[in-house]
Amino acid sequence: MLPAKVLHIVFHRFSRLYLYFIYHLTVCKVFGERLKRYAIFSTTATPKCDTIIIKYFTTHPWGFEYEPAQTGRKEGKMATLKKYQTDVCRKEDCLTVKGIIDTEDQCRTLGLRHVPETILVELEETIFYPEGGGQPCDLGTMNDIPVIDVFEKKDTGIVYHRLTWNSNVDSLTVDEQVRCVLEWDRRLTHMQIHSAEHLISGLIWSMYGGVNKGFHMGKDYATIDILLSPDCRCTEFTDEMMEQLELAANSAVWKNTQVVTHFCTTRDEAAAHPLRKPLDLDEDITVVRIGNEDQPYDCCACCGTHVPRTGGIGLIKLLKTENYKGMTRITLTAGLPAYRDAALRQKITDTLCARYSTEVDQLMERINIQESKNGAARKELYDLKKDLLQEEGQKLTDTWNRKP
């Protein structure tokens, strides 16, 4: 038996700890359900006070730290927890399997598309980004089984992972953990290009009053459809405007400013931010801001993945512009694809410089001179062929006329 004094101290401290915990849960209930889930990392008790150290994932405007709100599922279940929202740079994790759908009947019951030789896996939480918002999904492996598609069922908030059927499928068991690994180069490229799109769209809005009316991301590029304001001096983007825009975007990259994500439960909470365009949602809105709140480079609702700081974009290149349905479609790339594009262009430039025996700053002049010479040579050749044909034609005519 423990001495009575020791039992008294233990009871006293644990009772106070319990009261503190109930108090925080009550405050949580008052301020909303999204502040409800705690992760207690450590507790300390002293004769004067007991302290609970509680960790969440992001910072709430009131000063609390909280975990992002979750969309409820049918039958009272919770939606898939999206770990990439709070740790976008996590490359792999061990996660718990919640469900396996491997028959056509199961897919039909859940309203899902059945693909032969594949299975669908539901996890309690995921590091894989599902396709949406103009951004392709993440790919990778699950227990070394290729993940070939990731999508979210919007009415339930469940994220499904489509895996190719192979011998390792037997290693997947409900309520057991699986090792999930991202195809990191793909995720990083998506983060870089999507963040670059935000910078370009925000700068077009602030510099020229242009509005982003459409966004699409491919494997190594993105396109944005811009409608210029009637007040703008130009009706289309000039080369000078594109150069200014590309320089301004890369200047923001060099400043390595923070990219902040806010998880808002209501439309009013999201509307309090300096948004670039109107909101389409009424609840559970993710707002992404690049730069400070007073004068951000960009701020808008977005569910995609982004780099934590603009320096992670690396490089932004504007590849081309074209007319599209009365708007200007800008094709851009960033990060590793931008480096590869620049490397290819450098290789082509070096080859041309060697061929024309000149430096890069005189290359176009040399090409123009050579093109002029080639043009003169082509004209001379054309005139010679023309004269030769006339001469041959005349000979044939004379021969024909001399026949009896």
Does residue 61 lie within any of the structural domains? Answer: yes
Q: Which of 191, 180, 154 is nearest to 302 (CA)?
A: 191
Shared-domain flag, residues 148 and 227: no
Shared-domain flag, residues 238 and 307: yes
Examine the fold and report which residue of 30, 46, 66 is the final residue of a domain before the chain moves on.
Answer: 66
Q: Quote the pLDDT of residue 40.
A: 27
Shared-domain flag, residues 193 and 101: no
Examine the fold and report which residue of 132, 166, 182 is the final residue of a domain before the chain moves on.
Answer: 182
Does residue 392 lie within any of the structural domains? Answer: no
Examine the fold and report which residue of 151, 182, 213 is the final residue of a domain before the chain moves on.
Answer: 182
Does residue 390 lie within any of the structural domains? Answer: no
Does residue 393 lie within any of the structural domains? Answer: no
Shared-domain flag, residues 140 and 208: no
Pairwise CA distance, residues 52 & 29, whole Å: 18
Pairwise CA distance, residues 75 & 72, whole Å: 9
What residues pair up with 45 in beta bridges, in sequence order? 50
Neighbours of 306 (CB within 10 A): 24
Does residue 396 lie within any of the structural domains? Answer: no
Shared-domain flag, residues 34 and 172: no
How many independent structural domains does the chain possess? 3
Q: Which of 320, 196, 188 is nearest to 249 (CA)?
A: 196
We report the CATH number of the domain holding residue 126 as 2.40.30.130
We report the CATH number of the domain holding residue 283 as 3.30.980.10
Does residue 382 lie within any of the structural domains? Answer: no
Contact yes or no for 259/308 (Cβ under 8 A): yes
Q: Which of 196, 193, 201 is nearest to 220 (CA)?
A: 193
Q: Quote the pLDDT of residue 293.
A: 85
Does residue 394 lie within any of the structural domains? Answer: no
pTM above 0.85, yes or no: no
Q: Quote the pLDDT of residue 192.
A: 97
Shared-domain flag, residues 212 and 312: yes
Q: What are phi and psi of 372, to 5 degrees?
A: -65, -45
Shared-domain flag, residues 152 and 212: no
Per-residue pLDDT of the chain (404 residues; tens, 9 = 90+): 445 444 444 444 444 444 343 334 333 333 333 333 323 222 333 333 332 222 333 333 323 233 343 333 333 357 999 999 989 999 999 999 999 999 999 999 999 999 999 999 999 999 999 999 889 999 999 999 999 999 999 889 999 999 998 888 888 999 999 999 999 999 999 999 999 999 999 999 999 989 999 999 998 999 999 998 777 777 789 999 999 999 999 999 999 999 999 888 888 888 888 898 888 777 788 999 999 888 899 999 998 999 999 999 999 999 999 999 889 999 999 999 999 999 999 999 999 999 989 999 999 998 998 888 898 899 889 989 988 998 888 888 888 887 76
Does residue 58 lie within any of the structural domains? Answer: yes
Pairwise CA distance, residues 204 & 199, whole Å: 9
Shared-domain flag, residues 171 and 191: no
The amino acid that residue 263 corresponds to is F
Residue 201, by phi and psi: left (phi above 0), alpha (psi -120 to 50) or beta?
alpha
Shared-domain flag, residues 210 and 325: yes
Shared-domain flag, residues 81 and 37: no
Shared-domain flag, residues 166 and 215: no
Query: Tokens standing for 383?
Result: 């005139």
- Domain membership of residue 14 as a residue range: 4-66
Shared-domain flag, residues 191 and 218: yes
Q: Quote the pLDDT of residue 402.
A: 78
Q: What are phi and psi of 92, to 5 degrees?
A: -155, 160
